[in-house]
Chain A
Amino acid sequence: MYTIKTYLMAQTLDEAYSALQKNKSNVVLGGCGWLKMARKRFWTGIDLSRLGLDRIEERDGWLELGAMVTLRQLETDPAARAVFGGILPQSVERIVGVQFRNCATVGGCVWMRAGFSDLLTALLVLETEVELYHAGRMPLETFLALPQSRETRDILTHVRVKLDGRDAAYQSVRNTATDFPVVTAAAAHLGQSWMVAVGARPMRAVRVPAAETALSAGAMPEACRAVAALGYAGNLRGSADYRRKVAQVLVRRAAGEILQREGKQ
């Protein structure tokens, strides 16, 4: 059970930010998907849904996703579908169901930094920036390195992805449709550079620099060895060994999909 004492439909970001500073038990509400599973008492629930943060726009060479853009929007928006080999829609389309994805938000997913996040895995192989209301713009990886606690009193307002023309591909394995992923993987290719990320290990998604170097040299087996060298753990969805084996296959498939589109495989 969770409780919220007061509900603030913020009229400005400034109002939302001020409200967040007032009490450590105040919280910014995203899509609220996991809220009722928490045992938490919140004082004020701060709602960002009336701040125009539900738009997907191209701006100065970046695709700008407002924090309240839903996962379903990522799936259906023509601008989001048209870029990076369709990795944005592909990474979210297997998450629960349409009615869940009409609630869950990009901001909520990224802010949560969950290990099982399909979207984070995909965003890691793109040039992604996160904008916080107070701290400003920063690369996604810088954001992920910040200490994550309720002491962080900031608001994620936008996620931006640079429209640099890279091709990308997404892979995940699920024990059953709509379930959390057992392992996730993403790859991207731009010029001489490859980007590789593996998530749901079940720890949070990370880039795999050694695999990226290997792919740039055209050495797929070496890339797979680098993926195998990551840390994995077991939980009720799969063992560490199983994840290690599946992750290699997923990276090979994701990179293979890109190579195939480039006519190299």
Chain B
Amino acid sequence: MRIKLTVNGRQFDKHVPADMMLLDFLRKYGFVSVKRGCETSNCGLCTVWVDERPVLSCTYPVARAEGRRVTTIEGVVPEAEEFGKFLAARGAEQCGFCSPGLVMTVLAMKRELRSPDEQQVRAYLAGNLCRCSGYTSQLDAVMSFLKGGAR
């Protein structure tokens, strides 16, 4: 089937299988920041935005994205780099596999919630799993980033 959508502002008009998920589409066309983690709609690694809302791209049929705006980390590089510096400053970055999904969720949260407290941040980020860290350094980085404070 044929679908049209935009990824990071770029138009795509492609023939795709009817059962293709957005994750596979994005990786096929070079957005390899998008990671496949759990295969059970659980880990949050594949998080991208559809019309600015964070979704699991492993769970979202690409056909459903017809006419919609998809955003991956490649589309928000300056902001992602800024947050990345906060992560790095706290040594929160380890294997890095979960980072693109986490970054997309954090940036979505920054747009959606106004001055969230730590509990609200934890609730918003609960769907992003990391198997290296204990989340503490990441949470520190997120809270400082949101407050716009020093790295």
Main DSSP-derived SS at the A contact region: mixed
B127 to A5, Cβ gap below 8 A?
Answer: no
Q: Contacts A96-B42, A178-B127 known; A4 to B54 CB distance under 8 Å?
A: no
A6 to B60, Cβ gap below 8 A?
Answer: no
B61 to A45, Cβ gap below 8 A?
Answer: yes
A6 to B1, Cβ gap below 8 A?
Answer: yes
Instruction: Give the contacting residue for A99; candidates B39, B66, B127; CB below 8 A.
Output: B127
In the assembled complex, the Cα of A5 lies from the Cα of B16 at a distance in Å of 11
**CB of B55 within 8 Å of the partner chain:** yes
The size bracket of the interface on B is 20 to 34
A102 to B39, Cβ gap below 8 A?
Answer: no
Which residues on the B side are within 8 Å of A37 (C-beta)? 39-40
Which residues on the B side are within 8 Å of A97 (C-beta)? 44, 105, 125-128
Q: Which residue of chain A lies nearest to B68 when distances are taken between CB atoms in the complex?
A: A49
Stretch at the interface among A28-36, A116-124, A201-209, A233-241: A28-36
In the assembled complex, the Cα of A104 lies from the Cα of B41 at a distance in Å of 10
**CB of A242 within 8 Å of the partner chain:** no
Mask for B53-74, Cβ within 8 A of A = 1, else 0? 1111011110110100000000
In the assembled complex, the Cα of A165 lies from the Cα of B58 at a distance in Å of 40
In this complex, which of B21, B54, B56 has the most chain A Cβ atoms within 10 angstroms of its Cβ?
B56
**CB of A193 within 8 Å of the partner chain:** no
B54 to A3, Cβ gap below 8 A?
Answer: no
Would you list which residues of chain A between 1 and 32 have a CB under 8 Å from chain B? 2-7, 9, 29, 31-32
Would you list which residues of chain A between 95 and 122 have a CB under 8 Å from chain B? 96-100, 102-103
Instruction: Give the contacting residue for A100; candidates B41, B108, B125; CB below 8 A.
Output: B41
Q: Which residue of chain A lies nearest to B19 when distances are taken between CB atoms in the complex?
A: A4
Would you list which residues of chain B between 56 and 112 have a CB under 8 Å from chain A? 56, 58-61, 63-64, 66, 105, 108-109
Mask for A34-66, Cβ within 8 A of B = 1, else 0? 111100001001010100000000000000000
B127 to A32, Cβ gap below 8 A?
Answer: no
Instruction: Give the contacting residue for B39; candidates A31, A36, A103; CB below 8 A.
Output: A36
Q: Which residue of chain A lies nearest to B61 when distances are taken between CB atoms in the complex?
A: A32
A32 to B18, Cβ gap below 8 A?
Answer: no
Which residues on the A side are within 8 Å of B61 (C-beta)? 7, 29, 32, 45, 47
**CB of A177 within 8 Å of the partner chain:** yes
Instruction: Give the contacting residue for A49; candidates B42, B64, B125; CB below 8 A.
Output: B64
Which residues on the B side are within 8 Å of A45 (C-beta)? 18-19, 61, 63
Instruction: Give the contacting residue for A9; candidates B41, B55, B63, B125; CB below 8 A.
Output: B63
Which residues on the B side are within 8 Å of A177 (C-beta)? 126
Which 5 residue pairs are nearest across A and B when measured between Cβ atoms? A97-B127, A4-B19, A7-B18, A7-B63, A99-B54
By a beta-carbon cutoff of 8 Å, the part of chain B in contact with chain A is 1, 18-19, 21, 39-42, 44, 47, 53-56, 58-61, 63-64, 66, 105, 108-109, 123-128
By a beta-carbon cutoff of 8 Å, the part of chain A in contact with chain B is 2-7, 9, 29, 31-37, 42, 45, 47, 49, 72, 93-94, 96-100, 102-103, 177-178
The 21 sampled A-B contact pairs (Cβ below 8 Å) are A6-B18, A9-B66, A29-B61, A32-B60, A36-B58, A37-B39, A42-B19, A47-B61, A49-B64, A93-B123, A96-B42, A97-B105, A97-B126, A97-B127, A98-B124, A99-B55, A100-B127, A103-B41, A103-B55, A177-B126, A178-B127
Q: A36-B21, A98-B109 are in contact. List 16 more A-B contacts (CB 8 A).
A: A45-B61, A47-B61, A94-B126, A97-B127, A98-B54, A98-B108, A98-B124, A99-B44, A99-B47, A99-B56, A100-B41, A100-B42, A103-B56, A177-B126, A178-B42, A178-B127
